[in-house]
Structure 1
Amino acid sequence: MLLRFVLSHIRLANALLILAFCAFQSAYAQETPSPDRSVQSYFDQALVLKNQNKIDRALEVLNQAAELAEKNEDEKALVDSYHRFALLYLELDKTDNTLFYWDRAKVLLNDIAYPYGNAVHKYIEAIVLYLQDQNFQAIYMLNDAKQLNNDRNLLNNILLAEANIYMNIEKYDSASKNFNSLVVNNDVYEKEYLATKAYMGLARLNEKTENWEETIKSASGALALAQENGFSKEVFEANVLLGRAYEKVQKYDLSLVHNRNILQIKDSLFTIEKVKTEAKTADKIQFDFMNDEIRRQDEKIEELNESANRSEITAILTSAFLTIISLLAVSLYRNNQIKLKTNDLLQTKNKELQNARDAAVQAMEAKTNFLSTVSHELRTPLYAVTGLTHLLLEENPSENQKEHLKSLKFSGDYLLNFINDILQINKIDADKLERLSIEFNLKKVLNDVISSLQQSAKENRTEIVLEYDDEIPSHLMSDPLKLSQVFMNLIGNALKFTKNGTVTVIAKLMKKVEEDVTIYFEVKDTGIGISKEQQKSIFDSFEQGSIQINREYGGTGLGLTIVKSLLGLFDSTIQLESEFGKGSSFFFELNLKSKDSLVDDIPFEITQKDYNLKGLHLLVVEDNKINQVITKKMLSKKDITCEIASNGTKAVELANENKYDGILMDIHMPGISGDEATRQIREFDKEIPIIALTAISLDDSLENFYAAGCNDVVTKPFKPEVFYQKIGENILDKQIKNTTS
């Protein structure tokens, strides 16, 4: 009797709860998912509807996807459904609903291995943080998401989110790069929508900087795409921007046209009926979810009721459960009051901590930007020094002059190495270094480094010995450039402090399991050694042991710091053994991948060609007058004629009006930059070879140059043979290829 009484009251409470929700909702039948359709097809349809601002229909379609995923017991598809619900509720400004589905997805992710699902989870968390104005935390969360999965559509949406955050914190250059890369995206699912959003972002960015012509240009691009694809929300936003921009440039007739468009769109897009429908659909779906939970609980109670042996236990447990629930309700109310007060205090402290952290981040960025700017600005005059020295050495100077010029060349190379070290440390501090994974031959890398340092060894009357284990596979996968930097610093350091002695480079295979290889490396010398006290700080920046050592041997004291940081990218640690006056030994281990299936006679070295560059006619884009003279002189040495453009705007104009065999493009210029000029040239000439000729800085990325349309990059100051080689490879080889094809 007690059991029937309790169960009847529970059912009555459930019925009342359902009736209360039904009174609030406009009940209508839910279409069941078609068995012939896949979950992905529902996702695709919901995405199209969402981008067209048909949120109510998108929610209905997504609900069908969730039902099908649950029916198929497909946990990953169910996670994806919850994530898409969360994103749709963000469109409706229903953050609580977003967090509800985000939490449901989190519960499932705790029990399954799903990298893509975890990446989207962090992406949604980043968007919520951004909406709460926690910009830096949002950026870090987006970086975490990128590390988990490389899905192109997700990465493009992350790129868009980063751009909006950068614009919010007034990092306009970074925001512009992201928006520009999305304008020409190749996304499989949202190509036009992402391009529309990118144009809108550029329009808002230019509005912030009061560049009204560019605002109009970008907003017009967004409007055209939005109208073509039915993106009604973006059509409205583009008209708003164009109305304001045309008013600023005093084109009031055009401003009036767009303002009238806004009124018409408001009547159709933001009607009370539409808002009500979206709210009803959103609330109904969540209500159905809760109703299903109640139904499942009823089924469990019925199962227990059918078991006669458990009837008395069930009654006791039910009574206890109701009592506990009552006590918990009172306790939760009291705790909630305490929590509210605590939250106020925590929010205050949180804001204080966030302000302090933002100030620290800004200080670090200021330091990084300053050093990056200094490094870049030093490279430009250094290009003049090294370039003029090269030209003078080729003009048959007298022996006395030759000696002075060689000293000047040595000083220029020394200064360049110093600048490179500072730039490298900056990149490490700014966490802008990434490890590549490409095929290379380790023995060749070590031999190349040793060959480049033989002159230093000869000057110190020191022998370099390579002890190389022939059991090491010839084809390895890793980052040969960064490994070269490690050994260049270690061997160069050993040579600097060793005279009339020996520097030994050891590479030994420790173990090999299938394609996993562990190699032991050691660089030891018979030089001056390092005392126990000095060893404690030898890997710190600008540390050389003592002032006396610095004065006698020179250098920046950054070499070992760079080595330590670079090896950190390989998850390896540098170790040191040394005795003062008896030499030093630096050693570490690396875990690499081998490629046993490749044939050993594959060449690892590109043969240098001696190109005949006579008769080529190039466009040189360079704003520095001295650099113009040097570059033109170096070209004339090879019988190459050229025309000079002093800025990016002039370069675009000349490239459009004249015929050139190729373009040498400086990147950092006043007005429009070199990569922007390249993008504009590519709009009317897809084929002309463009070589970026630039003093690369910390914020520069080679990928950005290639994305803009450059065929190759030469960094200033450069070696003349590299300069001529790049011209031949990108211009002559391409001409030959086009002729034969």
Structure 2
Amino acid sequence: MIKRLFILFLLVTINGYTQSVYKDAGKISDSTDYYLEIGLFNKEAKKSYTKAILYTEKAIEYAKANNLNNKLADSYLQLATIFYELEKNDLAIDYYIRAISIYSKSEPKSNIALSYYGLGKCYLKKNNIAYAETYFEKATVIYKKLNFLEAIELINLQKAIIKKEKGNYNEASNILKGVVENISDDALLSTKTEAYIQLGEIEINKKNYPQAINYLNLANQTNEINNNDFQLTKRIYKLLSTTYEKNKNISNANLYLKKYANITDSIGKYYNSYVAENTVDKIQFDKQLKTIEQLDKEKKSQQKTLRFSKLISILSIALISILSLLSLSLYKNNKIRISTNKLLKEKNRELTLEKDKAERASKARADFLSTVSHELRTPLNAINGITYLLLQEKPKASQLNYLKSLEFSGNYLLNFINDILEINRLESDKVVIEKINFNLSELTENIVISFKEFIHENNIKCHLNVDKSIDYNLKGDPTKLSQILINLLNNAIKFSKNGDVWCTIKNKRETKNNVTLYFEIKDNGIGIPKDKQDAIFDSFSQGSVEINRTYGGTGLGLSIVKKILELMGSEIHLTSESGKGSAFSFELEFEKGVANKTKEIEAKPDLTLLNKKKVLLVEDNKINQMITQKMLEKRGISCNIIDNGEDAIEDAKANDYDLILMDVHLPGINGTEATSEIRKFNSHIPIVALTAISLNENREMLLSYGMNEVITKPFEPEHFYTVVTKYLTSTEQSNS
């Protein structure tokens, strides 16, 4: 009886296991990972790029059908890599950007870095060194955060090679020396060897042969520690032979030339013997493995039989009672387990529904705010544009007040929309902290100058105190820093009428390469009550309804400041007392840049040249067509209007224009696609994007399609004229 029960148990278990395996296999065969692995196998092992693309596209289809965003990003990344290897750089760039747009919403950050690195390589192949360096820098920032040393040093090595190819030998040498100094792990010895080789080649180009020989010998020593990579050894021997010959040391030149010839011959012999030897070892190893498995199986079978026999002899007397108790226990446990599992499943289902609901609500909120702010910009462009045109036509005194009020209301509404969009952008994962050179004194002076009229209206004495020891440029994100200072200064001026405002910047800590600065914006205005200070940084919060009605504003400025500082690894501190003013302070760390230079006075463009210019305006909104045309004609610029991308492409082929103003959102093909098509037959004409930029768009993405500049709707007339004049006069100068 017991034996039958035992055999039945085994059969049920095996059957269940078999069904589970087939079920799991069915899932795997339909999964994104399955298609990605087949695609990768065809690319790497079989070198069949056609099949690799086919299976990767199947992975994309499956990921889209099942809303698997992370898998979709992985699929885009793999397809971009395939197109890069096929030297289809434009397609590779497109899919790298698609991958980044998804990765930027979620983890893992390493894949975002890998995508930026791929974009850098693509632009390097397209000879666009500026873009290549930008994307390599973005990849470096992420790898530093993840502490991926090998990836960081590989990127630094590639940057140095770019500098060397551009002839910047000193900069390349400094980077390569840094790579050599930073590598201490044996796993990175091949990177260190390559750095020494590059240093040697630089010295050869500089005809400093003794120093070149020294670096190449260091490369040889490092390569020996790394078990002599054949390819690196060949390069080192060949370079040593050539360098000794140039240094008039013929004996050493012949010695390393002979070593180079010997190692070239030995590689083939070593490979053949290695394959033969490892084939024999593999056969013997397989035989031994089968013998061991057989012995192990027999041993287990014997142990199982012995245990089973002992079990029968020990439990034969008490079998009925034990089985009865066991059955009762199993019945009760099974009942409890079923009840518990049912409860857990219900709770998990409720939690999953709530999580999905919260995610959908968050996405709906983001999409709604983005859509509303985007859609409001188009009519706002019409309102502000028409107001500007009417103000230029010398209106009556009675009309002037109405137009000024309309202009103020339009600007106020635009600032409100910009704040909402900025909060929405900061709460997403699409914000990247840049690291570029800027002059701190120049930046703060320009900000204070921009508040000149507001300071005068409120009768404010503004005191700007910047530490004189900061006599060098900084490397950081000047746009984000400007947003912080502008919001804090705006509040200080607004709430301190007839008072004083202090903007103080001090050097807090300084090392050889970095500096930590202390920023403080202080006023002697109305102050903030203690019970309101905790909530003052929340969105749409201004302390009270009375303050909002008296002073106006959106209540978003401090919330934006707090979120930007958190992204930059800092925090805002508030000291305030009601009726005695407020002080906001924070600290930020920057890398040191080059020493400050005296500003050069830019030559003003010759506006008479604009009368000869011809502009193509691609815009589908009739009101915006009229406004933009009128503004161009006021400067004597002739304008041809087309309302869709397809006709714009054909018109650009048939006619010569000095500038194209391209709306991004067009019926049919959009402005980015139209720009890409125009760039195929005309690479020199300036193309400026006109867009009510949304959450899913950014300047960098638009420029990647071949656009030269981006003007955001509703645009400020002076900024519009500055950009248009810049490109129209620059084309005139280049033609002359």
> Which TM class, normalised by the smaller chain length?
0.5 to 0.7
In structure 2, the residue matched to 1:361 is: 359
Question: Structure 2 counterpart of 1:135, which letter?
Answer: L
Distance in structure 2 (CA, Å) of the matches to 1:577 and 1:142? 50
Counterpart residue type for residue 682 of structure 1: R
User: Of 464, 467, 485, which aligns to 2:465?
Assistant: 467
* Aligned mate of 1:641, from 618, 638, 656: 638
Alignment correspondent of 1:208: none
Rounded Cα–Cα distance in structure 2 between residues aligned with 1:348 and 1:294: 53
- 2: CA distance between counterparts of 1:400 and 1:358? 57
One-letter amino acid matched to 2:607 = Y
Distance in 2 (CA, whole Å) between partners of 1:637 and 1:394 is 10
Select the residue among 596, 601, 622 that pairs with 1:600.
596
Secondary structure in 2 matching 1:404: helix
Query: Following superposition of structure 1 onto structure 2, how do residues 487-502 of structure 1 map, counting pairs within 5 Å?
Result: 487-502=485-500
Instruction: Give the superposition deviation at 1:377.
Output: 1.4
Counterparts of 1:389 and 1:131, CA distance in 2: 46
Q: Are residues 141 and 349 of structure 1, via their aligned partners in 2, closer, same or farther at CA, if it must alter by over 3 Å? A: farther
CA spacing shift, 1:141–1:536, aligned 2, 3 Å: farther
Distance 1:654 1:290, change over 3 A: farther
Cα pair 2:380 2:410 within 8 Å, conserved: yes
Given the superposition, is the C-alpha separation of residues 431 and 625 from structure 1 closer, same or farther in structure 2, using an over 3 Å criterion? same
The alpha carbon displacement at 1:737 in A equals 1.9
Quote the Cα distance in structure 1 between the aligned partners of 2:548 and 2:451.
21
Shift of 1:159: 7.4
Spell out, residue by residue over 1:666-716, the C-alpha distance to the aligned partner (whole angstroms, 9 max, x if none): 111222211122122223322222111121111112222212221111112
The worse-fitting range, judged by mean Cα deviation, of 567-576 and 655-664 is 655-664
Residue 135 (str. 1) matches residue 68 (str. 2) = yes
Contact 1:619/1:662 (CA < 8 Å) preserved in 2? yes
Q: Partner of 1:452 in structure 2?
A: 450
- Residue-by-residue CA offset, 1:217-276 (whole Å, 9 max, x unaligned): xxxxxxxxxxxxxxxxxxxxxxxxxxxxxxxxxxxxxxxxxxxxxxxxxxxxxxxxxxxx
What residue is the counterpart of 1:722 in the other structure? 719
2:661 to 653, 660, 664: 664
Matched, 1:625 2:622: yes
The residue type equivalent to 1:736 in the other structure is Q
Query: Does the 8 A contact of 1:543 with 1:558 survive in 2?
Result: yes
Give the root-mean-square deviation of aligned CA atoms.
4.8
Kept in 1: contact 2:371–2:694 (CA 8 A): yes
Task: Report if aligned partners of 2:703, 2:709 keep a CA contact under 8 Å in 1.
Answer: yes
Aligned-partner Cα distance in 2 for 1:605–1:675 = 35
SS of alignment partner, residue 475 of structure 1: strand
CA–CA distance in structure 2, aligned partners of residues 390 and 142 of structure 1: 49
The residue correspondences of 1:345-360 to structure 2 (distance < 5 A) are: 356-360=354-358
2:607 maps to 611
Provide the residue aligned with 1:237 in structure 2.
none
| Gaps in structure 2 of 5+ consecutive residues | 1-39, 103-114, 126-278, 293-298, 308-333
Q: Does the alignment pair 1:419 with 2:394?
A: no
Amino acid across the alignment from 1:560: L
Shift of 1:482: 1.1
Which one of 518, 522, 525 corresponds to residue 524 of structure 1?
A: 522
Question: What SS does the corresponding residue of 1:723 show, helix, strand or coil?
Answer: helix
Shift in Å at residue 532 of structure 1?
A: 1.1
Contact 2:42/2:49 (<8 A) preserved: no
1:176 corresponds in structure 2 to none
Q: 2: CA distance between counterparts of 1:424 and 1:366? A: 17
Give the drift of 1:475.
Answer: 0.6
2:506/2:517 contact within 8 Å kept: yes
User: Which residue in the other structure is 2:673 paired with?
Assistant: 676
- Partner AA of 1:642 in structure 2: C
- Contact 2:73–2:100 (CA under 8 A) maintained in structure 1: no
Work out which of the residue numbers 463, 477, 480 in structure 2 matches 1:479. Answer: 477
Count of residues in Structure 1 that have an aligned counterpart in Structure 2:
486
- For the 8 Å contact 1:129–1:137, the answer to whether it is kept is no
Q: Distance in 1 between matches of 2:699 and 2:653?
A: 25
Q: 2:390 aligns with which of 389, 392, 408?
A: 392
- Tell me how far apart the structure 2 counterparts of residues 384 and 323 of structure 1 sit (CA, whole Å): 88
How do 1:168-183 residues align onto structure 2 when only pairs under 5 Å count?
none
Alignment of 1:695 onto 2:628: no
CA distance in 2: counterparts of 1:157 and 1:371, whole angstroms: 32
Per-residue deviation, 1:134 = 6.9
AA aligned opposite 2:502: T
2:283 & 2:662 partners in 1: Cα distance?
Answer: 59
Give 3-state SS (helix, strand or coil) of 1:708's partner.
coil
Say yes or no: does 1:51 pair with 2:48. yes
Deviations 1:370-429 (A, max 9, x none): 111111111111112221222222222333433332222222211111111011011112
C-alpha contact (below 8 Å) 1:505/1:522 kept by paired residues: yes
Deviation at 1:51, TM superposition (A): 3.3
Q: Is the 8 A contact 1:139 1:165 kept in 2?
A: no
For residue 506 of structure 2, what is the aligned residue in structure 1? 508
**Aligned pair in 2 of structure 1 residues 404, 52: CA closer, same or farther (>3 Å)?**
closer
Structure 2 distance, partners of 1:586, 1:716, is 32
SS in 2 for 1:727: helix
- Distance, in Å, in 1 between the alignment partners of 2:644 and 2:652 is 12
